[in-house]
């Protein structure tokens, strides 16, 4: 069942859904998503969307806060675009039907780490679920958007799939859609398109502990890398400082996030002995940017041999806690913690990829016809560390810009007819699925142990050797086996692990989220450089 369309969107989080809606105003869209359409990082977002919505705030302040958090590596032009176009995109969401929390008839703006002002637009502590609900409802209304669930993109279609075009130089290559698999039937087919919008989200699932749901296996980064697109700054994996500590976590469920907004609300971090500690690390204390807070917690844990630190809101009124954080209150109560009376045990967990598919300010990647939006992209706005709640905003602003660019370019793009069918000749059905699960668990453990909050040359070298062994096993299996979901995801998490380690090895300094014992301070370059990877032989 091959499909042909003008525009293909891969992913049904905020970036994919918003882009599909906007494209539907002038072209037909096919949107594929690998599980149920609501399953995305977006659906789990808590704190909200950062934007200058109050006259007492200013663009300059939001720009400055973003640049400070980004530790010298942000693309200033992209940051200015993000901040200045942000308020209009929030108004777009509201007009689509998203309902945000209000106080006295006005948006109730919260505060999070690294922000000098209250500027977080939110829907209580379930902002992502509200955004996802509103976008899906709007997409369902559009007759020219075909949504295909349980459809996993395997690889991008480019010149490298066509024998007679294989030698085309990388800078002239196009993306013409994807090979994808219907995971309910295990059938692979081809979706050809003039334009492909990659909106596949993040990669948290390559770490043992993560706030990201199971879909976040980095497929988009891996597909783009394999196809020869430029990938940047993959070393900057953000660890959220506060996920709920559980003594026996369920390995199939993400760590539950305790939103940064809880610290914005006055939450205090304490050691197991009940002592506040953030003032030792940064004068902004609990409201310092995330890299600093996560490292401070990691240091306290290692120093004291503890498994968690505490987050304390017991000094706040119970009604206020329940009003601001109904979901966090409920989830903690289910775990036996009444946060109005008890301290919350928390630990850092992998949360967000600041790097990704390198794009320009219109979200166009280095492959003609391939746009990347949302977490999978690297627009340059996050630099070495993302400012809280800038991610949902980035997805909105840059998918909107992508669509404007596509509208201009669509007429000049086409799809060739001679892209070969998926070839599974000579492959066998896998009989040892358990080996895949073991390899996935091994990768998670390696990345957590050696490529986490604190790194070193030795740790990275060890991780590289181990990941390479798993890469070789996985590629051998991939070549001789009929593909299926877990194998494809393993292949992608191995590719992403390779990119993260390689980028981390290339950065001979500590900056933002990349901290290494061998180079503990930042190089004093005036213009620090991005780490760029490109697979030159796709
Ligand atoms: P996602 O929302 O992750 O969507 C990706 C989509 O792609 C999914 O539908 C997935 O199934 C699909 N997909 C993936 N691979 C494939 C494939 N191979 N084939 C087909 N489909 C595929 N950011 C903020 O700004 N504010 C917050 O308050 C906030 N809170 C957060 C809380 C949590 C717990 C988490 C995990 C993240 C939070 N973030 C927050 C980050 C933010 O939610 C994400 O960065 C953002 O939602 C990413 O949106 P996206 O559209 O790029 O990707
Ligand atoms: C949170 O609510 O703490 C998450 C915000 C974010 O990831 O930006």
Burial letters for 497-520: b for 16+ Cβ neighbours within 10 Å, e otherwise? bbbbbbbbbebebbbbbbbbeebe
CA 388 to ligand 2: nearest atom: 8
d(CA 181, CA 171): 28
CB within 8 Å of 13: residues ≥ 6 apart? 40, 41, 42, 43, 132, 199, 201, 374, 375, 395
CB within 8 Å of 44: residues ≥ 6 apart? 128, 129, 211, 212, 213, 254, 257
The 3-state DSSP class for residue 415 equals coil
Testing ligand 1's pocket by substitution, the residue of 10, 11, 109, 258 carrying the most ligand atoms inside 8 A of its CB is 11
Q: What is the DSSP string of 282-305?
A: -TTGGGS-HHHHHHHHHHHHHHHT
The answer to whether 164 touches 132, Cβ cutoff 8 Å, is: no
The answer to whether 408 touches 363, Cβ cutoff 8 Å, is: no
Tokens linked to 525 = 């370059």
- The CA 239 to ligand 2 mean position distance, Å, reads 11
Token pair 């969307």 is found at 49
Angle between helix axes 127-140 and 14-23 (nearest 10 degrees) is 30
422 CA to centre of own chain: 29
| Sequential pLDDT tens for the chain (538 residues) | 899 999 999 999 999 999 999 999 999 999 999 999 999 999 999 999 999 999 999 999 999 999 999 999 999 999 999 999 999 999 999 999 999 999 999 999 999 999 999 999 999 999 999 999 999 999 999 999 999 999 999 999 999 988 888 888 888 999 999 999 999 999 999 999 999 999 999 999 999 999 999 999 999 999 999 999 999 999 999 999 999 999 988 888 999 999 999 999 999 999 999 999 999 999 999 999 899 999 999 999 999 999 999 999 999 999 999 999 999 999 999 999 999 999 999 999 999 999 999 999 999 999 999 999 999 999 999 999 999 999 999 999 999 999 999 999 999 999 988 899 998 888 888 777 899 999 999 999 999 999 999 999 999 999 999 999 999 999 999 999 999 999 999 999 999 999 999 999 999 999 999 999 999 999 887 789 999 999 988 8
Give the pairing of strands 120-121 and 515-516.
unpaired
Q: Tell me the whole-structure pTM to 2 decimals.
A: 0.97
Token pair 């309902």 is found at 99
d(CA 308, CA 438): 27
Catalytic residue, from 89, 111, 290, 459: name it. 290
Residues with a CB atom less than 6 Å from ligand 1 = 10-16, 32-35, 39-42, 44-49, 127-128, 152-153, 199-202, 211-212, 215, 219, 257, 352, 374-376, 389-392, 395
Least Cα distance to 195 among 70, 22, 344 occurs for 22
The backbone region for 467, taken as left when phi is positive above 0, alpha when psi lies in -120 to 50, beta otherwise, is alpha
The answer to whether 239 touches 89, Cβ cutoff 8 Å, is: no
């Amino acid at each position: 069942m091959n499909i042909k369309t003008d525009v293909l969107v891969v992913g049904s989080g905020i970036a994919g859904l918003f882009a599909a809606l906007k494209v539907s105003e002038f072209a037909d869209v096919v949107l594929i998503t690998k599980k149920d359409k609501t399953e995305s990082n977006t659906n789990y977002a808590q704190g909200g969307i950062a934007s200058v919505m109050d006259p007492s705030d200013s663009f300059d302040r939001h720009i400055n806060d973003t640049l400070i958090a980004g530790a010298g590596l942000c693309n200033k032009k992209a940051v200015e675009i993000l901040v200045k176009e942000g308020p209009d995109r929030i108004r777009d969401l509201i007009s689509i039907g998203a309902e945000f929390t209000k106080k006295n008839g006005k948006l109730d703006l919260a505060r999070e780490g690294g922000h000098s002002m209250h500027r977080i637009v939110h829907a209580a502590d379930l902002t992502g679920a509200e955004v996802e609900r509103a976008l899906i409802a709007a997409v369902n209304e559009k007759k020219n958007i075909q949504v295909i669930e349980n459809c996993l993109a395997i690889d991008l279609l480019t010149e490298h799939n066509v024998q007679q075009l294989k030698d085309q130089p990388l800078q002239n290559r196009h993306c013409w859609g994807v090979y994808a698999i219907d995971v309910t039937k295990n059938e692979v087919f081809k979706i050809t398109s003039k334009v492909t919008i990659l909106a596949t989200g993040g990669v948290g699932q390559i770490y043992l502990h993560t706030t990201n749901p199971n879909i976040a296996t980095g497929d988009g980064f891996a597909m783009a890398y394999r196809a020869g697109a430029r990938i940047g700054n993959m070393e900057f994996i953000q660890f959220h400082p506060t996920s709920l500590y559980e003594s026996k976590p369920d390995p199939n469920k993400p760590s539950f996030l305790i939103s940064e907004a809880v610290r914005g609300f006055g939450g205090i971090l304490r050691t197991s002995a009940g002592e506040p500690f953030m003032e030792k690390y940064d004068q902004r204390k609990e409201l310092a940017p995330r890299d600093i807070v996560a490292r401070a917690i990691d240091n306290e844990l290692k120093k004291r041999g503890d498994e968690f630190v505490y987050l304390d809101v017991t000094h706040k009124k119970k009604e206020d806690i329940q009003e601001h954080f109904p979901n966090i209150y409920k989830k903690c109560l289910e775990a036996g913690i009444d946060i109005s009376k008890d301290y919350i045990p928390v630990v850092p967990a992998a949360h967000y990829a600041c790097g990704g598919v390198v794009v320009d300010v219109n979200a166009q990647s280095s492959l003609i016809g391939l746009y990347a939006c949302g977490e999978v992209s690297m627009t340059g706005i996050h630099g070495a560390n993302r400012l809280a709640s800038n991610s949902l905003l980035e997805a909105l602003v840059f998918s909107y810009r992508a669509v404007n660019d596509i509208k201009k370019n669509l007429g000049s793009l086409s799809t060739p007819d001679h892209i070969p069918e998926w070839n599974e000749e000579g492959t066998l059905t896998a009989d040892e699925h358990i080996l895949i699960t073991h390899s996935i668990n091994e990768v998670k453990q390696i990345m957590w142990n050696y490529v986490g909050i604190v790194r070193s040359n030795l740790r990275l070298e060890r991780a590289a050797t181990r990941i390479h062994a798993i890469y070789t096993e996985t590629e051998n299996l991939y070549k001789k086996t009929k593909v299926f979901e877990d194998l494809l995801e393993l292949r992608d998490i191995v590719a992403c692990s390779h990119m993260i380690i390689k980028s981390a090895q290339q950065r001979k300094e500590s900056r933002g989220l990349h901290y290494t014992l061998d180079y503990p301070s930042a190089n004093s370059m005036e213009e620090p450089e991005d780490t760029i990877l490109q697979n030159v032989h796709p």
